[in-house]
Amino acid sequence: MAERRAPALLWITPPAGPLEPVLAGLRRAPAVPGLAVLLRRPGASARRLLEEGRALGALCGPRGDALLVSARVDLALALGAGVHLPERGLPIEDARRLLGPDGLVGASRHDRGGLEAAAATGADYATLSPFGAVPGKGPALGAARWAATRRGVALPVLALGGVDLESAPEAVRAGADGLAFIRAPLAAAETSLPQMRRFLDTESGRGRNEERS
């Protein structure tokens, strides 16, 4: 099991369709500190998830990237991966008990109460969404509301929803500890992933300075 460390960048697989664009992107991209890949394929069979998880793991392992599986602790155990839990999924405490103290456990959250509960029950990080507009996902929080929801929660929180190269700097200035995305790196992972990481390294410091001023 990988060392517990909140991702800085969380690349979520497309929910359907071929996985090859993600695999190809990982092959092209340089190693980026703090990158994790989340296998999220709603409705896929356990066998398919296991096969795709092994394909991702074969690339993530040598690169030093963390691998997570959405919802399925059994598959996370089989793959030696972490788990990312939906808000209505398995309780965080139970996932922690099954994965052990070294297992990486993340959680999807959408409001302040959810973030505080995730922090209190032992999550290593949470995503807070939707930061920006996403079709079918309800109204976007927007930078100001996202920042107010996240502020003061003792847990690394990643911005999710409408996060791309254009919106990433704003998300980091709003207090995001990391960035989560699905399609942003698909076309040019070799440039977009390092650029996302640079946003975290530069804009986070700028945001903290603005808060103090």
Which helix (H) or strand (E) is 93 found in, with range?
A: helix 92-99
- What does the pLDDT read at residue 187? 82
pLDDT at position 209 over 60: no
Orientation of helix 20-28 relative to helix 189-212, angle to 10°: 80
Predicted confidence (pLDDT) per residue in 119-170, tens digit = 999 999 999 999 999 888 789 999 999 999 999 999 999 999 999 999 999 9
Give me the DSSP letters along 147-180: HHHHTT-SS-EEE-SS-STTTHHHHHHTT-SEEE
CATH number corresponding to 9-212 = 3.20.20.70
Q: Where are the domains of the chain?
A: 9-212
The band of 205, judged by pLDDT with boundaries at 50, 70 and 90, is low
- Of 67, 14, 84, 80, nearest to 43 by C-alpha is 14
pLDDT tens track for 32-75 = 999 999 999 999 999 999 999 999 999 999 999 999 999 999 99
How far apart are alpha carbons 71 and 82 in whole angstroms?
Answer: 10
CA dihedral 40, 43, 45, 49 (to 10 degrees): -10
Q: Report the pLDDT averaged over residues 158-185.
A: 95
